[in-house]
Structure 1
Amino acid sequence: MLGFGLAIEPQLWALLFVMVRVGAAFVAAPVFGNVSVPVQVRVALSGAVAILVLGTNTIAVPPTVFALSTFLSVAAEALVGLALGFVVQIAFAAPLVAGEIIGGSMGIGFASMMDPTTGRSSPAVSQFLSILLTLLFLSLDGHLVLVDMVAKSYRALPPGAAWMTAGQMRDIAMFGGYAFLAGLLLALPVGFLLLCQNIVMGMLSRSAPALNLFSVGLPASLAVGVVTLGIALPAMGDYMQVIVREGLAAAQSLVLLTTGGF
């Protein structure tokens, strides 16, 4: 019942109720939440996953639509879905931090372009690393793992008992520091060599005061950064795989309070 003497199909109401958690996860998660993904595609994917969940789990939906308990249940479902997607999105912020460090050291921090995932302007180096991380995420079947995690969340956090504790919220907030740590480690190979290059340029400026650092230092920093980035790219790709696995593992442990390997 809707609550005003009006009836609604139980199957349709169950589908819409399950789509709340799934849709919230897709809105906050990487790849699914990109602005380039049409809303119609997200709704269709949410409906498809919701049908899968209804076929594999017994979902107890609220009996009345327009009721305070129903609104609270819907809010709890949306919170769980947003938390699942947001934790993985935190890991995807690491390339942005690394790109800021590398771009600033190379002297091209002003070079920016439109980010298709967010629709906002971001540094070109950050954009390059973000695209690389997204491709690795898809190649490692991270999107399938995320969908499987959302489906399994109905067993770990069934509707009606899906309220997240204050400790979980605190742990998710503390996981935000992982983005800065991972970004620093990701930029370490290139950033260290650029730091050494800046030290050498500083020594040259002290020994030869007539040397124009703007005409020599910027091209040298750009050349060293591009060459070092190409050499360190395989190692950075390996660490990006670690970032993907850490993000998925954190979503499972912090939100679902379960552990497992990916």
Structure 2
Amino acid sequence: MTEPFQISQGLIVYLIVGLRFIGMFFTSPVFVAPSLPLPARFWAAVLISIAAVGSADLSIPTAIFSNWISIILCGTREFFIGTALGFLSALPLYALQVAGELIGNVMGLAMVSLLDPLSEEQSSIIGQLYFLIGLWFFFHWNGHLLLVQSVVESLKLIPIGKISLFIPADMGVGLWLQKLFVLAVRMVLPFYGALLLADIGLGFLARTVPQMNIFVLGLPLKIALGLFLLMVVLPLTVDLISANMGEYIEMALKNVMIWKHALL
């Protein structure tokens, strides 16, 4: 009997399944907050994987247990599947953050930034606002539970150690990214349109009253107009998010199968 079989195959299965959950826990924006300690994330992934093994297809090809290299390659593959799932689920929130940063730039708040605790980099204050709103809706829809459930379901859709997979034609990553882009544009357009009209008005004012310092007047005016638009448009943005984001997150969770197919 070879050395890998000296360890229980069941224990190896637990470890391999745990790698899929660990990959998700280390890339999803819900679980990567610095306030959540690294050991807590690790043990949460291990405990959930132990509970989820009952849902896994344990008919793993015996060739995987033939040597340590096959086991390591299978574990690496499972880790990347979990990483892809966590990353795809985070993209809708990052789309909101990008939309907020574009709004902040056109308002004249490009230099106003906050430290993003997730990326540990400077981020636009409006972008942080939109990101936190999206994160709130993520929890409001039990997105964190849906994310864990999706990894559990992926154990049935993407069996451990099996390569064959049927991919439905309606699970295109391009269509999903296109919808995210359209959502971001729909959130940004009211600000761009209104502030463009403000710039045109300031241009006419500069031509009619050359003595006026238009730069001193224009910056606070655009900021005030942008904040007013933010108060008006933000409730509409919330309705837009609630009407579409649930569908986008669900589509993101399904598209992990495309990533899995690309990794094979």
Length-normalised TM-score, structure 2: 0.84
**1:37 — aligned with what?**
36
Cα distance change on mapping 1:5 and 1:144 into 2, 3 Å: closer
Residue 228 (structure 2) pairs with residue 227 (structure 1): yes
Rounded Cα–Cα distance in structure 2 between residues aligned with 1:101 and 1:206? 28
Give unmatched runs, 5+ long, in structure 2.
259-264
Shift of 1:242: 4.2
**Cα-to-partner distance string for 1:5-29 (whole Å, 9 max, x where unaligned):** 7833444322211111111112222
| Residues 234-243 or 44-53, more deviating | 234-243
Rounded Cα–Cα distance in structure 1 between residues aligned with 2:188 and 2:36? 29
Rounded Cα–Cα distance in structure 2 between residues aligned with 1:165 and 1:122? 40
| Residues 184-193 or 221-230, more deviating | 184-193
Residue 101 (structure 2) pairs with residue 100 (structure 1): yes
Alignment of 1:103-122 (within 5 A): 103-122=104-123
**1:214 — aligned with what?**
215
Judge conservation of contact 1:96–1:183 (CA < 8 Å) in 2.
no
Shift of 1:190: 2.6
Cα distance change on mapping 1:98 and 1:114 into 2, 3 Å: same
Cα distance change on mapping 1:251 and 1:149 into 2, 3 Å: same
Judge conservation of contact 2:180–2:248 (CA < 8 Å) in 1.
no
Give unmatched runs, 5+ long, in structure 1.
258-262
Q: Secondary structure at 1:113's aligned position in 2? A: strand
Judge conservation of contact 1:98–1:126 (CA < 8 Å) in 2.
yes
| Residues 157-166 or 239-248, more deviating | 157-166
| Residues 54-63 or 155-164, more deviating | 54-63
Rounded Cα–Cα distance in structure 2 between residues aligned with 1:192 and 1:176? 24
Percent identity over the alignment is: 28
Residue 75 (structure 2) pairs with residue 71 (structure 1): no
When the two structures are aligned, how many residues end up with a matched partner? Answer: 255
Structure 2: which amino acid aligns with 1:95? L
**2:45 — aligned with what?**
46
Cα distance change on mapping 1:83 and 1:202 into 2, 3 Å: same
Shift of 1:186: 1.7
**Cα-to-partner distance string for 1:66-122 (whole Å, 9 max, x where unaligned):** 533223322221222122111112211112221222111111111011012222111
User: As a proportion of its length, which structure holds more helix?
Assistant: 2
The root-mean-square deviation of aligned C-alpha atoms, in Å, is 2.8
| Residues 5-14 or 108-117, more deviating | 5-14
**1:238 — aligned with what?**
239
Structure 2: which amino acid aligns with 1:117? L
Length-normalised TM-score, structure 1: 0.85
**1:81 — aligned with what?**
82
